Structure 1
Amino acid sequence: MSYTPVNKIRIVTAAALFDGHDAAINIMRRILQGKGAEIIHLGHNRSVKEIVETAIEEDVQGIAITSYQGGHVEFFKYMKDLLEENGCGHIKIFGGGGGTILPGEIEELHNYGITRIYSPDDGRQMGLEGMIEDVISKCDIHLNGKAEYATAMKLGEVKDVRKIARQITNAENGQAPSALQTGGNIPVLGITGTGGAGKSSVTDELVRRFLQNFNSKTIAVISVDPSKKKTGGALLGDRIRMNAISHPRAYMRSLATRDDNTALSHHVQEAIDICKDAGFDFIILESAGVGQSDASILDYCDVSLYVMTPEYGAASQLEKINMLDYADIICINKFDKAGALDALADVKKQYKRNHGLWTAKDEELPVIGTMASKFNDEGVNHLFESLLKVIEKKTTINFGEFHFSETAKVSQSIIPAKRVRYLSEISENNRNYDQLVKDQATIASKLYKLEGSLEALAGKADEALLEVIRGQITFYTGQLTPVSRKLLQHWNDKVTEYSKDYYEYTVRDKVIRQEMFSKSLSGTRIPKVVLPKYRDWGDILQW
């Protein structure tokens, strides 16, 4: 009988530092999701500091790690130490690494306080689902009460992220926070868009620029991902793209919608209020992937950013997107894709229609092409500058002096859109050539056999039969390409030429003689070119 958890379970999953094997942890986190857990997945090659910081900020019950890199004893012990030092020793640690973690090392880690390291024997006895249910049952604890810690944070965070994280957890569990100070003018940027448009990558680039340019400012990111209707589990995977968020002045919290057919959690406003109460200077709210009609993020933000890609279908589809009516700025991400410039023109036309800006110049419209995956992308720089101007206009908040070039140039991608399939075209061409050679060789073999049959039956068989053979020879000869016919016609001449002592050819009326044989020390004549002794025309042509 499978275990049914009582509480909402949140677990951080990752593969250890210097470990590029993420197949195992991906299997485990998928089964955990299937059991109803909310998984904050970090991917592979993650350090202890990153994992512990994430676990504390996300207020999880457990951490699940796969480690195949050999340094597991130090890795897990340091993780336990860092959790204890930061007052979060209640977070349980689970791990596995197949045969790389020896039984003696497993016992040592268990004695040190690691909740469970699973061995290959455990896998055979319990099975995958048995191990996952063991993790679920051990993590099924209620995180309740105020976050009061005797020790200071050792991770160097500017804010007490433990307290912030627990307040948000309490809000998700139905315990509304009391006496929050939310009166300050703290701008909230709402980022929404279709699934896979690159919202997290754009968010990460905005966070990076904010932290780099405003040295005294703090930022909070609230990211929402959908819960599965069938299982209740969720993959909160936005942190995989968040490379800039591991910073003392930054805080991030991932929320599951815990409902279907919605792009935001019901506790988004409480999470925003808690971050405002904590005194963050800037808050970003990122929604889950939305459909054409969704504009719910507008209820929670001061400034809205809609992220899309050039691959939206026909231009008429733009007329159905609600956010094109309301978004302060529209970002066309993945601008290196084919058709990006056409998409930019179409979106600008639609923006003019929606807002009645018939005489506005295209460069004045808040529609910007970006490549968030590219370092220091000019489009993202222009987007960041535009957002700061809109924030100042709508909230009167000015974070400080910040300048980029006045116009955003269209950036060239590493591989131009017209040459994205360049290597594929080369391989296709090679495969097509190989197939052509194979087909031509088959035809040549049939011709060789027919010519041999005609020669053998001449004067012995009925004339009607010979006529049929001649007809087949004519047919298959017509199937050969001119190049194939030429190669076969001159094959015997080529064999004769290469068999001579000298090969002669003319360059600018001068005859060049090339020796075709060399002598070994024993006086043996060794040909420089040895042609195959094939007789079948198909073999000759293929060679």
Structure 2
Amino acid sequence: METQAPYVPKNKVRIVTAASLFDGHDAAINIMRRIIQSTGCEVIHLGHDRSVEEVVNTAIQEDANAIAMTSYQGGHIEYFKYMYDLLQEKGASHIKIFGGGGGTILPEEIEELHAYGITRLYHPDDGRKMGLQGMINDLVEKSDFLVGDTLPGSLDELVGANNPTIARWISAAENCGEQHGQALVSITEKAAAIHTPILGITGTGGAGKSSMVDELVRRFTMDFDDKRIAVVSVDPSKRKTGGALLGDRIRMNAIKHGNVFMRSLATRQANLALSAHVQNALDILKVAGFDLIILETSGIGQSDTEILDHSDASLYVMTPEYGAATQLEKIDMLDFADLIALNKFDKRGALDALRDVKKQYQRNHNLW
């Protein structure tokens, strides 16, 4: 079999990937989502053991082009049919459904699911004929359509809007900003008069920012059951392929709540911690009527302070493993952060790190 070149998408394609409920087999979906990402797609990965409702709600909030699932637990007929039905019920019939399950999904079952409305289920015979890249090329090509070219309603209808409407406004800003320029200007003007607090969370990659966001959301929803909270999470795009792994949802369990909206954004540009469209997304969420917005950046370097331009309060998350104490003098956020969280405090040297960070904070702010 000849090595196939990756399909080059004409549009920014967003795909939600996961393994189905009660399924701990995530090796296959991890291989597939890596190839999907390297083919230039933005992959919102949920991990394994995910319910239909969780996957569908994620796809709607993320305004995805498609869902790609693996199912090895034997309940694929019911699982995929319920997914199709739920997408129809929630007005998201444009989201395509792809799946695979090795030999556990029989050819006659594949025919039944295709007839029901599932876009494509891949059998091991497809893998032998098409190869891994060939199957992914087929999936991505079928999912390659523009999202956001049409606005979901007027500006007035955005106030208190439902999740699909909010998600589509963000897609319109992200994918068709020039086309909807006047509408976005109107949103910016309206948002300027709305004082929804924005908490910006930043820090190095792997410091535990997403886990911190999850805990904050959990406590917020427990204490304020009548308030709505939105999370905007940014991850870097790969410069080589244009793809991105938007994986922060893997670590977040508290967002499965009726008062929580989450949107993942790829930077779509090199060497920046935030997307160029993040301010549009924040303005849209303000107008939509959220009571608190959390903005999480991708992992940053020592000199990045971009979060300050978009937030009212900033939280810098770090770990005890920053190297020598002199490295603290290079971290620009220690000059500007309103709060500093020293995460993963169970690691060796954490008490020494706390002492050194406190000293550096005192030096930076002349608190003698």
TM-score, reference length from structure 2: 0.94
Residue 276 (structure 1) aligns with: 286
CA contact (8 A) 1:11 1:37 kept: yes
Q: Secondary structure at the match of 2:212?
A: helix
Task: Give the aligned partner of residue 258 of structure 2.
Answer: 248
The amino acid across from 1:77 in the alignment is: K
Deviation per residue, 1:120-163 (Å, 9 max, x gap): 11111111000000001000001121225xxxxxxxxx851111
1:160 aligns with 2:162: yes
Partner letter of residue 286 of structure 2?
K
CA apart distance, 1:2: 4.1
Which residue of the other structure, out of 64, 67, 75, is the alignment partner of 1:71? 75
2:125 aligned residue:
121
Structure 2: 5+ residue stretches without partners:
154-159
Is residue 110 of structure 2 the alignment partner of residue 106 of structure 1?
Answer: yes
Match of 2:207 in 1: 197
User: What do the CA deviations read for 1:69-100 (whole angstroms, capped 9, x no partner)?
Assistant: 00000000000000000000010000000000
State the match for 1:39 in structure 2. 43
Cα gap change, 1:327/1:52 in structure 2, threshold over 3 Å: closer, same or farther?
Answer: same
SS at match of 1:29: helix
In 1: Cα distance, 2:134 partner to 2:199 partner: 43
Separation of aligned partners in 2, 1:198 and 1:95: 31
Q: 1:349 aligned to 2:359?
A: yes
Residue 179 of structure 1 aligns with which residue? 186
Partners of 2:151 and 2:279 in 1: CA distance: 19
The answer (yes or no) to whether the contact 1:159–1:249 under 8 Å persists in 2 is: no
CA contact (8 A) 2:69 2:100 kept: yes
The residue number in structure 2 matching 1:219 is: 229
SS state of the match for residue 21, structure 1? coil
Counterpart for residue 171 of structure 2 = 169
Distance 1:82 1:6 in 2: 28
Structure 2 counterpart of 1:134: 138
Work out whether 1:145 is the aligned partner of 2:147: no
Aligned partner of 1:505 in structure 2 is none
Alignment correspondent of 1:297 = 307
CA–CA separation in structure 2 for the residues paired with 1:80 and 1:340: 49
Amino acid at match of 1:295: T
CA distances 1:344-389 after superposition (whole Å, capped 9, x unpaired): 010000000000111xxxxxxxxxxxxxxxxxxxxxxxxxxxxxxx
Of the three residues 299, 319, 324, the one matched with 1:309 is 319
Alignment counterpart, residue 88 of structure 1, candidates 73, 89, 92: 92
Shift of 1:46: 0.2
SS in 1 for 2:202: strand
Which secondary structure state, in structure 1, belongs to the residue aligned with residue 146 of structure 2?
A: coil
Letter in structure 2 aligned against 1:227:
S
Aligned letter for 1:130? G
Once residues 202 and 185 of structure 2 are traced to their aligned partners in structure 1, the CA distance between those partners, rounded to angstroms, is 29
Paired residue type of 1:350: Q
- Residues 220-239 of structure 1: pairs in structure 2 closer than 5 A: 220-239=230-249
SS of alignment partner, residue 186 of structure 2: coil
Deviation at 1:178, TM superposition (A): 4.8
The CA RMSD over aligned residues, in Å, is 1.2
1:193/1:307 contact within 8 Å kept: yes
Work out the CA distance in 2 between the residues paired with 1:163 and 1:250.
Answer: 15
Query: Which residue of structure 2 aligns with residue 434 of structure 1?
Result: none
Q: Does the 8 Å CA contact 2:110/2:121 hold for their aligned counterparts?
A: yes
CA contact (8 A) 1:225 1:256 kept: yes
Aligned to 2:15: 11
| 8 Å Cα contact 2:6/2:39 also seen in 1 | no
Tell me how far apart the structure 2 counterparts of residues 331 and 3 of structure 1 sit (CA, whole Å): 42
Residue deviations 1:30-50 (CA, integer Å, cap 9, x gap): 000110000000000000000
Q: Aligned partners of 1:17, 1:3: CA distance in 2, in Å?
A: 30
Residue 51 of structure 1, CA deviation: 0.1
Cα separation, 2, equivalents of 1:96 and 1:142: 25
Q: Deviations over 1:101-126 (max 9, x none)?
A: 00111000000000000001111111
Question: Secondary structure of the residue that 1:167 maps to in structure 2?
Answer: helix
Query: Is contact 2:16-2:43 (8 Å) kept?
Result: yes
CA distance in 2, matches of 1:207, 1:97: 34
Note if contact 1:77-1:109 (Cα within 8 Å) is conserved in structure 2: yes
Q: Secondary structure at the match of 2:168?
A: helix
In structure 1, what is the equivalent of residue 349 of structure 2? 339
Amino acid at match of 1:27: I
Count of matched residue pairs = 350
Q: Counterpart of 1:291 in structure 2: which amino acid?
A: G
Task: Give, in angstroms, the shift of residue 3 of structure 1.
Answer: 2.3
The CA distance in 1 between the partners of 2:237 and 2:141, in whole Å, is: 20
Please tell me whether the aligned partners of residues 222 and 253 of structure 1 are also in contact (alpha carbons under 8 angstroms). yes
Pairwise CA distance, 1:174: 3.5
Percent identity over the alignment? 68
Q: Scaled by the length of structure 1, what TM-score is found? A: 0.64
Read off the aligned partner of 1:218 and give its amino acid letter: R
Partner of 1:490: none
Q: Tell me the CA shift for residue 20 of structure 1.
A: 0.1
Q: Match for residue 49 of structure 1?
A: 53
How far apart, in 2, do the equivalents of 1:343 and 1:81 lie? 52
What is the alpha-carbon distance in structure 1 between the residues aligned to residue 80 and residue 110 of structure 2?
Answer: 11
Q: Distance in 1 between matches of 2:319 and 2:174?
A: 32
Q: Tell me how far 1:185 sits from its aligned partner.
A: 1.4
- Which residue matches 2:156? none
Structure 1 unaligned regions, length at least 5: 149-157, 359-543
Tell me the distance in 2 between the aligned counterparts of 1:5 and 1:30. Answer: 16
